[in-house]
Chain A
Amino acid sequence: MNIQDQVIAIIAEQAMLDPSDVTMDSTLEDLGIDSMGVVESIFAIEETFDISVPFNANNPTASEFDISSVASIVSGIKRLKAEQA
């Protein structure tokens, strides 16, 4: 699975949806993922990709990591992986 498919699988599981219902443009809010779901999703992303995602639930929009949509999460992961390499 590529990064995109892995992220879709994580988000779909969190939203209790079929992966086919999650697209690159989907936002976590549209999918009904609340603040606790966001924190759990980030944990799953960190574990899956072995990265550390900078995120403070007190101010989600100020985090360097944009978690608003599947596409932004994928590009954030790519950036963190590149920094790691």
Chain B
Amino acid sequence: MKRVVITGAGTINALGLNVPDTLAAMREGVCGIGQLEFRDVERLSIQIGGQVKGFDDVVRYNRQQTSLYDRFTQFTLAAAAEAIAQSGLVFSGDLSARAGVVLGTAGGGVSTWDDNYRAVYEEGKNRVHPFVVPKLMNNAAASHLSIEHNLKGPSFTVSTACASSNHAMALAFSMVRSGMAPTMITGGSESMLCFGGVKAWEGLRVMSRDACRPFSANRNGMVQGEGAGIFVFEEYEHARARGADILCEVAGFAMSSDASDIVMPSKAGAARAIAGALSDGRINASDVGYINAHGTGTAANDKTECAAVADVFGPHADRLMISSTKSMHGHLIGGTGAVELLACIMALRDGVIAPTIGYEEPDPECALDVVPNTAREAKVSVVLSNAFAFGGMNAVIALRTI
């Protein structure tokens, strides 16, 4: 088995349009959640979100590109450009033939669906743009990424709701670890902050109208975000041979399925994924210093997640730190694990633990060190990133310093 490292990272999200700005915002505990701005927002009962502002698609992309790139593809390509530039990799010859892309998204081109349904249903048009299908398909972002960077190896998109990008990164990791590919571009993207996208979530009655307050006793639901996180996963010797700057090692992962309820989380399913990731990475539980929580800010997730962590770690659960950065960037659904992996890398590289902001009241059912409101300096060598999706599909990734 090969060792796998991360040699590039890129992002677009409500906290920043690149990795340095995002990490600076996480360190400062900046809240990227605010009033949503799009057509018909006044007809929504939920009007807040972690919306990406100042992303000028007209400047970034030409007319031909915008006719093919939904917003989730635009975010992906911008984040990938940052990640691949940082890695220093140029894809040609044998590397190009073997390197691929695995991305996660829950909804794909949601705003393209929304705009075109509106055109045919509301405006009564009988014709839509010829590229609607290639623009909205869930693999559009992965495809355009492969086209733009000449990635000709195994490429596909996975969709497991809120765990999509963790499942994607876990697959990319196992493909590099097995020797199938020397490097994989991976992560995820989501953009469902449009009228139809938010209206659908509103129906479930789990959204907060005012703030995302994970682990706080007065939490009242999740807040949606949007954006992308993209990483270069590379075989360790390959990275070392070319003198790449290695951000950290991907140590292990596990996936599990609750096989119980379509929306309610299960402690056992989450615990099996966490314990599985430790076992896969041959990690002692007591070496884990930080967990980036799924931490959605719903009543059900946060208490279930804390109980699962307590089960797996025993007394060490009280010594490790666990925070939810969704309080700052919102829940990016299929892209969330990818943006949250940045907080894990910051913990390992910079010794800074991102806080859970908006924390107001302790909840006895979430009695862990949730790094409330203010970032903390701490040296950690192993971190986990949790993702627990609707449908009961869980994926946990372990990273370590190198």
Residues of A whose CB lies within 8 Å of any CB of B are 35-36, 39, 42-43, 52, 55-59
Q: What are 22 A-B pairs with beta-carbon distances under 8 A?
A: A35-B264, A36-B262, A36-B263, A42-B205, A43-B203, A52-B45, A56-B205, A56-B206, A56-B208, A56-B220, A56-B221, A57-B204, A57-B206, A57-B221, A58-B219, A58-B220, A58-B221, A58-B298, A58-B299, A58-B300, A59-B220, A59-B299
In the complex, what distance in Å separates the CA atom of A52 from the CA atom of B206? 16
Q: How far is the CB of B211 from chain A (nearest CB, A)?
A: 12
Residues of A within 8 A of B208 (CB): 56, 58
Q: How far is the CA of A43 from the CA of B204 in the complex (A)?
A: 10
Name the A residues within 8 Å of B204 (CB-CB): 39, 57
* Most-contacted residue by chain B among A43, A52, A55, A59 (CB, 10 A): A59
Specify which chain B residues have a CB less than 8 angstroms from the CB of A52 in the assembled complex. Answer: 45
Nearest-CB residue, chain B, relative to A42:
B205
Please name the 3 residue pairs, one residue from A and one from B, whose CB atoms are nearest each other, closest first. Answer: A58-B299, A57-B205, A58-B221
Which of A35, A43, A57, A58 counts the most B-chain CB atoms under 10 A from its CB?
Answer: A58
Contact bitstring B94-121, A, C-beta under 8 A = 1, else 0: 0000000000000000000000000000
Residue of A nearest to B261 (CB): A36
Interface of B is mostly: loop
Shortest Cβ gap from A14 to chain B (Å)? 15
Spell out B's residues near A (CB within 8 Å).
45, 203-206, 208, 219-221, 262-264, 298-300
Q: Within the complex, what minimum Cβ distance (angstroms) separates A4 from chain B?
A: 24
Give bound CA distance, A49 to B269, whole Å.
40
Residue among B203, B204, B205, B219 with max Cβ neighbours from chain A (10 Å): B205
Docked CA distance A55–B203 (Å): 11
Q: How far is the CA of A57 from the CA of B205 in the complex (A)?
A: 5
- B392 shortest CB reach to chain A, Å: 14
Q: A36-B263, A39-B205, A57-B299 are in contact. List 20 more A-B contacts (CB 8 A).
A: A35-B264, A36-B262, A43-B203, A52-B45, A55-B205, A56-B206, A56-B208, A56-B220, A57-B204, A57-B205, A57-B206, A57-B221, A58-B206, A58-B208, A58-B219, A58-B220, A58-B221, A58-B298, A58-B300, A59-B220
Which B residues are in CB contact (< 8 Å) with A58? 206, 208, 219-221, 298-300
Q: Within 8 Å CB of A55, what residues of B?
A: 205
Task: Report the nearest A residue to B299, measured CB to CB.
Answer: A58
Q: Across the two chains, which residue of chain B brings its CB closest to A63?
A: B205
A55 to B207, CA, bound (A): 10
Return B216 CB to nearest CB of chain A, in Å: 12
Question: In the assembled complex, how far is the CB of residue B391 from the closest CB belonging to chain A, in whole angstroms?
Answer: 13
Separation of A84 and B300 alpha carbons in the complex (Å): 33
Which residues from A are CB-within-8-Å of B203?
Answer: 43
In the complex, residue of chain B having the shortest beta-carbon distance to the beta carbon of A36: B263
